[in-house]
Amino acid sequence: MPKSQPSVAIIMGSQSDWDTMRHASETLKGLGIDHVSRIISAHRTPKRLYDFAAAAKSKGFKVIIAAAGGAAHLPGMTASMTLLPVLGVPIESQSLKGMDSLLSIAQMPGGVPVGTLAIGKSGAINAALLAAAILALGDRKVAGALDRFRAAQTAAVADAPKDS
Ligand code: RP5
């Protein structure tokens, strides 16, 4: 049977973002959601960005997770070229601890939305979970996986703290 078209694309500005974004990929994998991960830089590979964003919807992607650090233009530029939901993950930069990334991604002009998550690993995980929640609206399998994820998360929380 042919493999189905991945519904989520994870794009990131640099190889150096993968340490953070692998958490998005692992979360999607745990939920059984097919996805691809690609390096696309708004500044270093602008043509690759244009080609990806312009074709993303027709290729069958339903949600894009875009991560970048510093002058983090990748999520916003991607959103400007597609009607797909774009979820932005601010990478924790060395110089400003990701505040630069966060503000670059969050402060979009009205009319071109990017759903901005937390800085770093939490943002990467939550971007995957939010992508799953979007897909779950029209996909019972994903909805079931998300339900099980939440139940397992709740079950893993102890009633009382232990000494370590
Ligand atoms: C951004 O610049 C990337 O998203 C990355 O977070 C940051 C630094 O990139 P490298 O210099 O490590 O390639 O475009």
Per-residue pLDDT tens over the stretch 2-46: 567 999 999 999 999 999 999 999 999 999 999 999 999 999 999
The predicted pLDDT at position 40 comes to 98
The predicted pLDDT at position 114 comes to 98
Q: What is the pLDDT of residues 40-99, one digit of tens each?
A: 999 999 999 999 999 999 999 999 999 999 999 999 999 999 999 999 999 999 999 999
The atom of ligand 1 lying closest to the CA of 13 is 4
Segment 120-142 mean pLDDT: 98
User: pTM (2 decimals)?
Assistant: 0.96
CB of residue 45 inside a 6 A radius of ligand 1:
no
Residue 64 CA to ligand 1 center (angstroms) comes to 19
Segment 103-125 mean pLDDT: 98
Residue 70 CA to ligand 1 center (angstroms) comes to 7
The atom of ligand 1 lying closest to the CA of 101 is 6
CB of residue 17 inside a 6 A radius of ligand 1:
yes
Taking 90 as the threshold, does the pLDDT of residue 164 lie above it?
no
Task: Copy the structure tokens of residue 31.
Answer: 């939920």
Residues in Cβ contact with 69 at an 8 Å cutoff, skipping those fewer than 6 apart: 13, 14, 16, 17, 90, 91, 92, 93, 98, 100, 101
* Residue nearest (by alpha carbon) to ligand 1 atom 3: 13
The predicted pLDDT at position 3 comes to 63
Closest Cα partner for 34 from 152, 151, 139? Answer: 139
Sheet of strand 86-90: strand arrangement:
35-39, 8-12, 63-68, 86-90, 115-116
Q: What share of the chain is helix, strand, coil (3-state, %, to 5)?
A: 45, 15, 40
The predicted pLDDT at position 56 comes to 98
Q: How many Cβ atoms sit within 10 Å of the Cβ of residue 127?
A: 29
CB of residue 70 inside a 6 A radius of ligand 1:
yes
